[in-house]
Structure 1
Amino acid sequence: MRTPPARPGPRIDLHAHSTASDGTLTPAELVRAAAGAGLDVLAITDHDTTAGWAPALAALPRGLSLVRGAEISCIWAGVTPAVSLHLLAYLFDPDDPALAAELTRMRAGREVRAERIVDLLRADGIEVSWAEVLAGAGGGAVGRPHIAAALIRAGLVATTSEAFGPRWLGERYRIMKEDLDVFRAVELVRAAGGVPVFAHPRASRRGPTVPDELIAALAEAGLAGLEADHEDHSPAERAHVRGLAADLGLLVTGSSDFHGTHKTVRLGAFTTDPAAYERIVAESSGVTGVATG
């Protein structure tokens, strides 16, 4: 008697963005696209905001589970200049006063920075309208990709990648924003019942990365995991992250970091092992839980 083939495990993508921050799909479009891509679990992780949660839930397709989260803009000031990094926070209480206040502050800081960048561009004779950038954000958290989109519409650059190059937003018109100390971020996420995972920790193509010693210290402070499988990690960087996670007893995730047309990566391009996903759910104590359509 032939043994039936094993059923494939669930496909889990724990990092995706909507128009609530800098993605190009609305939250409703995002969850429908995730179902269409054959995903079983999707995390919505917009930058410094939970605004996409409710519309994503309202449109959740049958059979798709939604993990509500956010990607928190952080900073480590242990070197000069300070290093920017991102913390994925899953299943936290969105009404936790301390964390909600910090997310509100950072969204305001994003808008201030974006307007300052537009002012610099205009001072150099580059006709980019702040009103147009705001309109492009559609009421979501304003970010540099919205300025990049305005540069593309003006015919000044051809792609988002070019807009983030050194001639434009990557260097010449780059302004640092006031992000949250990474240790404070881990503390706040845990206090809100959430589970913190370090996003793309070794993505050297994005800029400076932090030393392993800092990640070890974050693990002592409550960091739960590391995102290893990501388009901005080389094979060697993925292997390094996996080894470090094993040494520190951290869980490992894989995610697309999907942004729609702002990036070429597709939903489900990288996925998370079900055992790691189950650890995230088990470690959470927030009020959000995993929603299933």
Structure 2
Amino acid sequence: MRIDLHCHSDVSDGTRPPAEVVRRARAAGVDVLALTDHDTVAGWEEAASALAPGMTLVPGVELSCHQDGQSLHLLGYLFDPSAAELAAELARIRDDRVVRARTMVDRLRALGVDVTWERVRELARGEAVGRPHVARAMVEAGAVRTVDEAFTRDWIGAGGRAYADRYALDPVRAVRLIRDAGGAAVLAHPRPRRGPAVADAVVERLAEAGLAGIEVDHPDQDGAARERLRDLASALGLLVTGSSDDHGALTGDRIGCETTSPDAYAALLDAASGEPVTG
């Protein structure tokens, strides 16, 4: 069984519709797929409708969080999307994403970049407008050659000339919101090659709050980072997951390049009260 527990569609910052994400997962030999768009559950229904017989969809979300000024992400699985407090926070985060993206567009235009809010909104098919949509508009406008080039201090990288901050959840509260909604929370890619690492002390606090696992096998984490994270997960009694974090064309359509073990998946199901969707 091949299990990929972190994928994005174009309802957030992926480039493929949810149904196509599912079809590509099937073509890649993935049996169990989690759709974890940023701060939205809008793609769940379409993804479920595209399941082939024998495939399983794990409904999920990637929650935006901040800890002491540092951005980090939590994957929430199998929660009740109608849980009032969590639903309200997701809506607040999405609303602030729009404000942030519009601010970045205004700042880029002041810098002479010919991007428009209308084009950014077209690129963001769903509710969760993000920096990748702004970056793609910058590529189209000829301001940068690649999306990665936009994510620098020259442009919309953290602290950059056109960067704008946004609302995000305290991660301990986010873990508790997911748990209160019947779900299980996993810390996403805490040791990326680029960007700051999530400190062990933060992971320990999240574990005390009810964190279920750590995403260890991820394309942006090298062997040394993975080894350290496995040791940390073992010490804290947390599950180890593996995922592609696929964003479609932005990441080279890499669904299934990293996977979660069946035992870890079974433990994740046990940690949540929600049920996956089967084809």
TM-score clears 0.5 = yes
| Counterpart secondary structure, 1:180 | coil
Deviation at 1:124, TM superposition (A): 1.2
**Residue pair 2:12, 2:125 contacting (<8 A) in 1 also:** no
- Over the aligned positions, Cα root-mean-square deviation in angstroms equals 1.0
Residue number among 236, 246, 263 corresponding to 2:234 in the alignment: 246
Instruction: Specify the alignment match of 2:52 in structure 1.
Output: 61
Match of 2:153 in 1: 166
Q: Which amino acid aligns with 1:203?
A: P
1:173 positional shift: 2.0
- Which residue does 2:124 correspond to in 1? 137
User: How far 1:166 sits from its partner (Å)?
Assistant: 2.7
The Cα offsets for residues 164-208 of structure 1, whole Å up to 9 and x where unpaired, read as 123222123222211001011001000000000000011151x22
Equivalent residue pairs, number: 277
Letter in 2 for 1:185: A
The aligned residue for residue 231 of structure 1 is 219
Q: Is structure 2 residue 184 aligned with structure 1 residue 195?
A: yes
User: Which amino acid in structure 2 is aligned with residue 107 of structure 1?
Assistant: R
Say if 1:13 and 1:271, in contact at 8 Å, map to a contact too: yes
Which of residues 102, 114, 126 in structure 2 aligns to 1:115? 102
Structure 1, gaps ≥5 residues long:
1-9
The correspondence for 2:138, drawn from 151, 163, 170, is 151
The whole-number CA distance in structure 1 between the counterparts of 2:197 and 2:53 is: 39
Question: 1:46 maps to what in 2?
Answer: 37
Kept in 2, the 8 Å contact 1:256–1:265? The answer is no
Aligned-partner Cα distance in 1 for 2:253–2:155:
22
> Post-superposition shift, 1:210?
2.5
TM-score for both structures, normalised by structure 1: 0.92
TM-score normalized by the length of structure 2? 0.97
Of the structure 1 ranges 132-141 and 29-38, higher mean CA displacement relative to structure 2 is found in 132-141
**Structure 1 residue 271 and structure 2 residue 262: aligned?**
no
Q: Which structure: larger Rg? A: 1
Q: Distance in 2 between matches of 1:210 and 1:36?
A: 34
One-letter identity of the residue aligned with 1:221: A
Moved over 6 A (4+): none
Specify the SS of the correspondent of 2:22: helix
1:181 matched to 2:167? The reply is: no
In structure 2, what is the Cα distance between the partners aligned to 1:239 and 1:166? 31
Contact 2:113 2:141 in 1 (8 A): no
Instruction: Report the CA distance between 1:161 and its aligned residue.
Output: 1.3
Would you say the 8 A contact 1:231–1:265 is kept in 2? no
Per the TM alignment, residue 61 of structure 1 is displaced from its structure 2 partner at its CA by 1.8
**Letter in structure 2 aligned against 1:191:** D
In the alignment, which residue of structure 2 is the partner of 1:7? none
SS at the partner of 2:66?
A: strand
Report Cα offsets for 1:140-171 as digits up to 9, x if no partner. Answer: 31001101111111122222111212322212
Residue 76 (structure 1) aligned to one of 64, 67, 73: 67
One-letter code aligned to 1:53: W
Worse-superposed segment, 115-124 or 164-173: 164-173
Bigger drift between 262-271 and 229-238 goes to 262-271
Q: CA deviation at 1:115?
A: 0.4
